[in-house]
Amino acid sequence: MFSRQPNDYLCPFCDWLSGNETEYKQNSDIVFQNDKVTAFISPKWWANNPGHVIVIPNRHVENLYDITDEELSEVYRIVKRVAIAIRSSYENCSGTSTRQHNEPSGNQDVWHFHTHVFPRYEDDKLYQNHDTKNFVEPRERKVYADLLKAYFRKPAGDK
């Protein structure tokens, strides 16, 4: 519904999940994965919110209008777990925010449904910083991926 994806679109998320790593999408970025969803450290960071996570359904679906209720439910079940993992693991993190975009007017730029989960800090100006996001190297992303992977490995009673 309200599709904006070009007919010949090569989806970067599907291309990665089918096995093609790039400097933007490395398997070491993945902090959680099951048969329905994948959560990974974003390759682009806003100035004051390093290490934010993107959660996607594994099946290609363009946007919020088309995702099934079951997929949406599973994506947000993991969004919740990722938010708690970020809040528990990132130094001085004192809040979290989620953002999800549809169509160009809604700032969508990858045509595969995704939800951002941000660590928040006092006075971090996340919403004023949309144009400050920059690509970060895989080794910088790995620091945050390792924190979240360690969190997800803990037994339930230790979280």
Note the residues at the interface with Zn ion (CB under 5 A): 11, 13-14, 60, 112
Name the CA radius of gyration of the chain, rounded. 15
**Which residues are bridge partners to 44 per DSSP?**
135
The residue among 11 and 136 lying less far from Zn ion, judged by its C-beta, is: 11
* Nearer to Zn ion (CB atom), residue 38 or residue 49: 38
Q: How far is the CB of 90 from Zn ion (least distance, A)?
A: 28
Q: Which is nearer to Zn ion, 60 or 142 (CB)?
A: 60
Q: How many CB atoms lie within 10 A of CB 64?
A: 17
Shortest distance in whole angstroms from residue 62 CB to Zn ion: 8
Can you say whether residue 146 is alpha, beta or left, with left for phi > 0 and alpha for psi between -120 and 50 degrees? alpha
The total of other beta-carbon atoms located within 10 Å of residue 131's CB is: 7
Q: How far is the CB of 61 from Zn ion (least distance, A)?
A: 8
- Nearest approach in angstroms of CB 92 to Zn ion is 34
The least distance separating Zn ion from the CB of residue 13, rounded to whole angstroms, comes to 4
Contact 33, 149 (CB under 8 A): no
Between 112 and 120, CB nearer to Zn ion: 112
Where do the DSSP E strands lie in 11-112?
30-33, 37-41, 44-45, 53-57, 95-100
Burial code of 18-33, b = ≥16 C-beta within 10 A, e = fewer? Answer: eeeeeeebbeebbbbe
State the residue number with the nearest CB to Zn ion: 11
Q: Based on CB atoms, which residue is closest to Zn ion, 60 or 133?
A: 60
